[in-house]
Chain A
């Protein structure tokens, strides 16, 4: 009985705080993306416009934890398959955050654009219950227009 109660409590905490964290994060992303909207980001390798000499490698990364509710939902969902919305939003958040940090670094350098942006994914601190966290890492070359 005690363990069921503990489980339900964790599930509830996970749901409430996880949801709150996620909503706050999305709100912050919407704001910050506006702030750095002036930095153009491309994943093309060969710039087609004239650029100032040199370029600087810039990057951004973020590790986001999976909350308890998401882990349980994912565990149940794998029984029937289908779209896993809880992890989808997690990946979206992490990816947007990584690209945002890349843009911030570029902006601090006074760059106008970032070329050849690559986005990488890895898992961090895997525990037996599933992934502990996901890392999204974005990198590219910051350049200035003449």
Chain B
């Protein structure tokens, strides 16, 4: 477990927020992969889970989150509260994963 607490609550259970350090954010834009798309083409006939895409988006969100955490650490925070994710299609075949929250100090 990382030592920095990330939560989408407005508070950290059992702790007191002593300082708000401002908005921190992270994003990444990922495009689809041709190989994965061929599989997706087949799956579009029979249905079912597109595991390649599930992993792709999950990894991309992890990356966006770690960028946000880096920003928070640079501000001297030990927690990020009220985290929100958002996903948008930039063009056909590419998605932006965006995460933002408020960096705080807790004790």
Contacts and interface: CB of A to CB of B under 8 A. Distances in A.
A71 B45 CA distance: 9
Given A46-B11, A51-B14, A59 B61 contact: yes
B35 interface: no
Interface residue tally on A, bucketed by range? 35 or more
Contact of A68 (B45, B51, B95): B45
Interface residues of B, number: 40
B57 A135 contact: yes
B53 A140 contact: no
A21 interface: yes
Contacts of B32: 124-125
Interface string B24-62: 000000001000010010011111111101100110010
A34 B44 CA distance: 30
Given A63-B57, A65-B40, A137-B57, A17 B13 contact: no
Nearest to B6: A57
A63 B14 contact: no
A64 B44 CA distance: 9
A91 interface: no
A135 B57 CA distance: 9
Contacts of A59: 58, 61, 85
A137 B85 CA distance: 9
A63 B61 CA distance: 14
Interface in A96-117: 97, 115-116
Interface of B: 1, 5-15, 32, 37, 40, 43-51, 53-54, 57-58, 61, 65, 83-89, 92-93, 95
Interface of A: 10, 13-14, 17-18, 21-22, 25, 45-47, 51-57, 59, 61-68, 70-71, 97, 115-116, 118, 120, 122-127, 132-133, 135, 137, 139-141, 143
11 contacts: A52-B13, A56-B6, A56-B7, A57-B6, A61-B58, A62-B49, A97-B49, A116-B9, A120-B87, A124-B50, A125-B93
